Amino acid sequence: MRPGRVVLIVLLALVLSAVMLGTGIVIGNVVTADQEQAALDPFYTPPSTMPDKPGVIIRTEALGADPQFGKGYRFLYSTTLQDGSMAVSGAMLFIPDVAAPAEGRKVVGWAHGTVGQGDACAPSRNPADGMKDLSGFLPEAMRQGWIVVATDYTGLGTPGPNFYLVGGQEARDVVYSVRAVVDTPEYSAGKEWITFGHSQGGHSALWTGHLAEQIDPDLQLLGVAAAAPAAELASITNAQWNNAVGWVIGPEVAVSWPAAYPNLSLDGMITSAGMSNYQRLASECITTAAIEGLVRAQIGQTFFTESPTQNPAWDAVVKEETPGPLPVDMPMLLMQGTADTVVLPWPNADLQTSWCAAGSHISALWLAKINHLSIAVNSGPTAVSWMSEVFEGKTPVSSCGSPLPVLEPGQ
């Protein structure tokens, strides 16, 4: 073993030892969190008799964390799987204090980013963390009088597999969360809405832009906002498969994609270290999984044996789950930080160029020195301004043809 590698492993061991020594300080908090999650289990358990259609609220309770200018709730609602069978998802709901207009309140359907697949990772089961990414736009959305509904996605915090980066399921979960709110008279929700998502949620939002009318033609989706969307899956995969990001995203995909594509095999695609740990890592919440991913990458371990795009079966799924350009009548807001090391900037620069060429109407915000986690919050004011224009029936200014700050891989 090379001396440099020995030094690195020793340093990592020291770091991990320090973390373990610190566990005694936080063990009481961990136990408390486990007890809180166990107490929530009955709320997230599907009823013995399911609703006969998707988009129905099953139960609701106060969230215990209210936004400015409104009240927060969690709720369980019905949705469907790809085979048409019924399923449930949890969600957060934020109702403004402002009186509803005669035509009903506008609705924003939020789609969250990667959080991990364990029950405790579901935003509505952990609202203190779940509301952080909404903090850049939620208070102003409440002040504007908009309803914000934020799905957890099927299987996240509820029984069943989680369909991570599976566009059809993500879109159904987003659409039916909005349907559930619209069909509850006490919320005074209108049928006009916008979807807004970050990271994985950006993938969800873009697929919702394509599929919402097919899923529920009665609702009127007016636009799509996406912050650092995981959209150009091949480009992201080819750049990230053999580093720490691969260890964070890979386990979730390894659990979810075979559930959606039963003939997709893990054999030969996942390293022995990955096969031994992927189910456990997928169930970890994102911070814990990311720390382990960093450590494994630093000692030279990869999750995948090669880029999934080099495997024909996996490459077919990568292509299948990559959203195409939105139609010109579906305005889009693209927001990206140039310091993002997770969803890299240049694939979304490519997206802006190619989608504009295909006729999409894209308004773009590029923020210098903003990383992946920060873009969700930092883009909030622009997102609210853009959504206000769309809700008012205005056409936002297009960024198509404007210079891009990132043009080539690595920049």
**How far apart are the C-alpha atoms of 196 and 56, rounded to whole Å?**
21
Distances (CA, A) of 332 to 157, 195, 355, 396, 400: 30, 10, 10, 9, 11
* The token pair that represents 377 in the structure block: 């919050």
Mean pLDDT of 370-385: 97
Pairwise pLDDT comparison (15 vs 313), residue with the higher score: 313
pLDDT category at 163 given cuts 50, 70, 90 is very high
Cα 248 to its chain centre, rounded Å, is 14
The rounded distance, in Å, linking the Cα atoms of 281 and 301 is 14
User: Of 101-110, 137-146, 334-343, 400-409, which range is least confident?
Assistant: 400-409
pLDDT of 247: 98
pLDDT above 90: percentage of residues in the chain? 87
DSSP string, 238-299: HHHTTSHHHHHHHHHHHHHHHHHSTT---TTTB-HHHHHHHHHHHHS-HHHHHHHHHHHHHT
pLDDT at 32 over 70: no
- Residue 304 sits at φ, ψ, to 5 deg, of -90, 150
pLDDT at position 405, please?
A: 85
> Does residue 411 surpass a pLDDT of 70?
no
- Say if residue 13's pLDDT is above 70: no
The pLDDT, as a whole number, for residue 25 is 38
Q: State the pTM of this model.
A: 0.92
Whole-number pLDDT of residue 396: 97
How many residues in total does the chain contain? 411
CA terminus-to-terminus distance, the chain: 34
Range of weakest confidence among 128-132, 294-298, 397-401: 128-132
SS3 82: coil
* Arithmetic mean of pLDDT over the chain: 92
Question: Residues 59-104: pLDDT tens digits?
Answer: 999 998 888 999 999 999 999 999 999 999 999 999 999 999 999 9
Confidence of residue 408 (pLDDT cuts 50, 70, 90): low
